[in-house]
Structure 1
Amino acid sequence: MSLALAASSGIRLAGRSFLAFVLEPQPPVSAWLADLDAVAGQSAAFFANRPVVLDLARLAPDRAETDAIVAALHERSIRVIAVEGVDSAWLEPALAPLGSGKPSAKVIEFPGSGGAPTAERLAPTTRGGLIVDRPVRSGQSIFHPEGDVTVLGSVASGAEVIAGGSIHAYGTLRGRALAGATGNTNALIFARKFEAELVSIDGNYLTAEQSPPSVVGKPVQIRLRGDAIVTEILD
């Protein structure tokens, strides 16, 4: 059957929201790219299958500089879907600026060496919260932008939990926990046993290498103070 014959119900248009990561280069761009390489170098799949919006408003580059930045990200296999903050006439149609949108958190993803996890949406509980009543296995991604996420089990290495609110892990947190993903600076992360690869609140992040050794393996509370991630042991 041809598509023309099959499409008997007409065309349907619907709005839908998606989460994309935002990169905001800072001057000098060469140093910013070096920092990007240093972080992404910890995992070959850092930006794998992740849509990225490039925001150049603060940098205010000219056309040649814009082309150079886009080319540099392309060389790093970063999939830029749109560019903001520059003259739209400079861009090829595939990178046209987004028509409109709301400011959101700058979430920095940190996939493990096993590749990008598969996103999973679960049914929310009351008041926008989400309870996950089983462990989050390696390769899984729990994404709940509407509120808090509570994991009754552990979060395995190579797994991730992304929440618009706070994250509670009642088992061992070995994977990645990204709280406040829609701009909530007051979000918290709780873990019964802290062994995380990466934690993030409103786009500010802390990797395993940066975590104080004194908190590893302990019950912790993680919060944001200014632009710094603070990890405290719970009594």
Structure 2
Amino acid sequence: MSEIQHPSAPLPQIRVRGRSFMALVLSPEPPLAAWLQGLDAQITRSASFFAGRPVILDCGLLDATDAGLAELLPALADRGVRLIAIEGADAAWPATVGWDWPQGFAGGRAVGPLEVPEDGALPAGSATGAGTLADAAQVQPSLLIEEPVRSGQSIVFAEGDVTVIGSVASGAEIAAGGSIHIYGTLRGRAVAGLGGNRDARILCRRMNAELIAIDGYYMTAEDMPVELIGKSTQTRLDDETLLLLPLD
């Protein structure tokens, strides 16, 4: 009697999804002991500043002979700083200073599914999330959000301005290549001027932000003028100083 052949079960479909990240960049400089003291002061002012955030270490200002270089990565790990990449370091540094080079990413914001072709090349726009925000940029120079931004949401629009008709909750984040306009209360984080736009501004009806930043210069809630908390404000960059000013 011949053996009965059963059809093989179909293989499961593998779904690939894009993720959009906004990483912080740390640029340590010698002497490293003093730089770490400054980092400790920042963490003391805002204990949650680095919590859960991917960080890129820019070593462009460092040399392999700098004192304390071998201890830098362990020191950052002890402070809860999660590195996803290192820039500006010589390829020989891991052997010279004994570093374990960071591998891979964690976290991020899930976006729509990606269609991955057989050659493995991702489609255009995948870096910003399966063409979601990238497609929006092709249609308009600004992004309009007509609802409140909830805690845990991250809106990244590097191509232009972002306008929110509503409030931005604590734990939420808005990042824009241009200016940010918020017609409600800003309780989360607002990062304007991505990519070096020093003329960008942050305007909101009520300022209660956890963090505001323009072109890499930032201010945490602890550093904001008390008299402007809860007021209509604009934030702009004056040379290398971030200014928080009243609108009324």
Give the TM-score taking structure 2 as reference length: 0.71
- Give the alignment partner of residue 231 of structure 2, picking from 218, 221, 227: 218
Distance 1:190 1:86 in 2: 37
- Say whether residues 1:190 and 2:203 are aligned partners: yes
Distance 1:43 1:234 in 2: 26
- Note the aligned Cα RMSD (angstroms): 3.3
- Give the alignment partner of residue 142 of structure 1, picking from 143, 155, 161: 155
Query: What whole-Å deviation, never above 9, does each CA across 1:184-231 have from its counterpart, x for those lacking one?
Result: 111110101112121100111112221112222221111000111112
- Say whether residues 1:95 and 2:98 are aligned partners: no
User: 1:197 is aligned with what amino acid?
Assistant: E
Residue 52 (structure 1) shift: 2.2
Distance 1:160 1:166 in 2: 14
SS in 1 for 2:71: helix
User: 1:155 is aligned with what amino acid?
Assistant: V
User: 1:147 is aligned with what amino acid?
Assistant: G
Distance 1:210 1:54 in 2: 24
The answer for the alignment partner of 1:104 in structure 2 is none
Distance 2:77 2:151 in 1: 28
Distance 2:239 2:221 in 1: 20
- Say whether residues 1:28 and 2:31 are aligned partners: yes
Name stretches of at least 5 consecutive residues in structure 2 with no aligned partner: 1-9, 14-18, 112-128
Name stretches of at least 5 consecutive residues in structure 1 with no aligned partner: 9-15, 97-115
Residues 47 and 78 of structure 1 are in contact (CA less than 8 Å); yes or no, is this contact kept in structure 2?
yes
Query: What whole-Å deviation, never above 9, does each CA across 1:95-139 have from its counterpart, x for those lacking one?
Result: 28xxxxxxxxxxxxxxxxxxx885777653643311111111222
- Say whether residues 1:227 and 2:240 are aligned partners: yes
User: 2:27 is aligned with what amino acid?
Assistant: E
User: 2:35 is aligned with what amino acid?
Assistant: W
Point out the structure with max Rg over C-alpha: 2
SS in 2 for 1:66: coil
- Say whether residues 1:171 and 2:171 are aligned partners: no
- Give the alignment partner of residue 88 of structure 2, picking from 78, 85, 90: 85
Equivalences for 1:114-125 in 2 at 5 Å? 118=109, 123=133, 124=136
| Greater Cα shift, 123-132 or 134-143 | 123-132
| Greater Cα shift, 216-225 or 16-25 | 16-25
User: 2:246 is aligned with what amino acid?
Assistant: I
Distance 1:228 1:19 in 2: 23
Residues 233 and 245 of structure 2 are in contact (CA less than 8 Å); yes or no, is this contact kept in structure 1?
yes
